[in-house]
Structure 1
């Protein structure tokens, strides 16, 4: 008796999800859903050919919603989803004692589908790692899906490094289907309930009464925390909340790997004294953006005591990723 091949009617899946959320899928979203249904057929029939999708668009247009739904619904065991930051943290750890290809192959494992959320590049070192990742996936017929806020040609926009990444952009455009979701609606701002992250709060004004009502700690002086081989300084002893000042976390030389390591042991984060970002250095702005990315992807509760409303907090910031940060912070309670 022949076993029936698994199938995925992804159009039906997404129509049900859209109905549950009370949203109407736009033309670009429906086109993406049809494309993913075709990709599912390729994967489930084990066709020996590389398939890639590079999906970009403004924050809140449904990229992660649709791709995460596809990943969850696809009846394929050999699949892996990773946030960009998390994957590269693991890759740097694997590089200790072995070559790049061996480290990448170990992380890829037996996966026939790799999904990367919030794909972006600011570092030339990471860009070179991405180039090799794409080449290996093509050679091994491992399907790739990237979601990003940027079209391929806007990756690694820094003119000091961009020319060195142009061959990788050509690789993406040659081997991956590039699609865009840029509808007029930011669903994050219109919907309610975005997981644990949205259970946090944006405090402005950050009155003593509001802080007390939420159980937020007061600063008690620098408290040394060991993170790997580094020492960071919290604003109070860790308890129900991991408490940092903006200056202590974002204006200090911290990194994504620090935030990921701290997420392993802390579910609630309180960032105190956040100023208008236009007043701080670009490096501090980027650390704040990275921190929000990590906490959102790891689904940690974030509480922010700010010196101004959110619109003023992000005004005048020229960092490429600030729109995504503003969209995510808009999900926090402001009452």
Structure 2
């Protein structure tokens, strides 16, 4: 570290975790922490308004990209905690885009009189919802932190350029983590040429920082302990608590809401790309494949508490559990679970037991080192 370097809060918190043994020291992570500290300092500096009272140019953000398990989400969590700015928001990009589409739909359905009364109205916007929604987004946070920035759906790709042109015009700074370099976003997508201006604008507004660590720390943390704990009891509960702490690096759990076709799905506990649910939360409620696909698109790891024996009188819960595992498996989401029995004995008898054998086989495969090492797949929800 240069002699004139002044350590900021992100690097200090990172070094504390290394010293405590919670993290293994990594030069690429330390360098990224320093970059994030420089951004935090720029955000904390007084911002002068431009001529004619226009909002100041936003502080240039950071687009932090690299392979799976390199510590991107962990570093952004540290940055978000340290960033001293008037208003800030950390959100999964998939969740954010679902909210945007919902807001666009609400604006389209408003009458002309309702639009004129709306605090988000924008002169000369007419019935175009992009500008009003961008104004609403910008009013909620001067710093937007996106985890797992990825673009796979044409509906997102076609609005991102105009949406963020407007968001940036309000002085919003963006920080994002991604597994892809910006030039590979929406790769091979339909009408990708229409998306290219957004990539150029993103690189203009964000410093592109590669987290070039050679090691997949997430894989190490997954394979260092079992991922299936049976039977249920105090031991399995403690094991899942330890898995949560290990996989989230002790990050403070957050609450988020996923939007699926206008419906809300509450996620009570998530951190660093890991979500924790009980079996009852996911399989005893009227959820369906689209809900599970959305979970799989949002989180790289799911911790599932207390899977019971699946008897014929719980056939509805069993069917939902099968749909959940199918969604996680197809997306190569990692699963850590506690259960009443091993997969082969979860649904021993009755209607559906034979069909469940396929799910049991998938659960066994999901515990293998080969599956653990596979990268996530994009599955359309």
Alignment equivalent of 1:69, drawn from 75, 78, 90? 78
Q: 1:229 to 1:63 in 2, by over 3 A?
A: closer
Number of the residue aligned with 2:182? 152
**Aligned positions of 1:266-277 closer than 5 A:** 271-272=321-322
> What displacement does 1:176 show?
1.5
Residue 107 of structure 1 pairs with residue 137 of structure 2 = yes
Structure 2 gaps, min length 5:
1-6, 48-55, 108-128, 238-259, 264-277, 299-303, 308-319, 340-358
Larger Rg: 2
Match of 1:323 in 2: 375
> Superposition pairs for residues 91-240 of structure 1, below 5 Å?
91-98=100-107, 99-191=129-221, 201-202=227-228, 240=280
CA contact (8 A) 2:152 2:186 kept: yes
Superposed CA deviations along residues 34-68 of structure 1, whole A, max 9, x for unmatched, are: 11111111111133432121111111101000011
Say yes or no: does 1:242 pair with 2:282: yes
Q: CA deviation at 1:81?
A: 0.6
Q: Aligned-pair distance for 1:164?
A: 2.1
Question: 1:49 aligned to 2:57?
Answer: yes
The corresponding residue for 1:25 is 25
Unaligned stretches of 5+ residues in structure 1: 1-6, 204-209, 216-226, 231-237, 261-265, 276-283, 316-321, 327-335
Q: Number of aligned pairs? A: 263
How far is the alpha carbon of 1:149 from its aligned partner? 0.5
Question: Match for residue 294 of structure 2?
Answer: 256
- Cα offset for 1:212? 7.7
2:188 & 2:194 partners in 1: Cα distance? 11
Counterparts of 1:35-46 in structure 2, within 5 Å, are: 35-46=35-46
1:53–1:179 CA contact under 8 A, matched in 2: yes
1:122/1:158 contact within 8 Å kept: no
User: What SS does the corresponding residue of 1:119 show, helix, strand or coil?
Assistant: coil
Q: Which residue among 86, 92, 103 is the counterpart of 1:83?
A: 92
Deviation, structure 1 residue 309: 1.9
Query: Offset of 1:143 from its aligned partner?
Result: 0.9
**In structure 2, do the counterparts of structure 1 residues 159 and 79 end up closer, same or farther at CA, with 3 Å as the change threshold?**
closer
Q: Secondary structure at the match of 2:176?
A: strand
What's 2:365 paired with?
A: 309
**Secondary structure of residue in 2 paired with 1:61:** coil
Change (3 A) 1:302 1:164: farther
Measured at CA, do residues 312 and 259 of structure 1 come closer, stay the same or move farther in structure 2, by a change above 3 Å? closer
Note if 1:289 corresponds to 2:345: no
User: Residue 96 of structure 1: SS of its match in structure 2?
Assistant: helix
Contact 2:135 2:167 in 1 (8 A): no
Q: Secondary structure of 1:89's partner? A: helix
- Structure-2 change in CA distance of 1:229 and 1:273 (3 Å): closer
TM-score, scaled to structure 1 = 0.63
Deviation at 1:287, TM superposition (A): 9.0
Where 1:170 maps in the other structure, the secondary structure is helix
| 8 Å contact kept, 1:8–1:75 | no
- 1:135 CA displacement: 1.3
Q: Separation in 1 of the partners of 2:297 and 2:29?
A: 33
Match of 1:323, SS?
coil
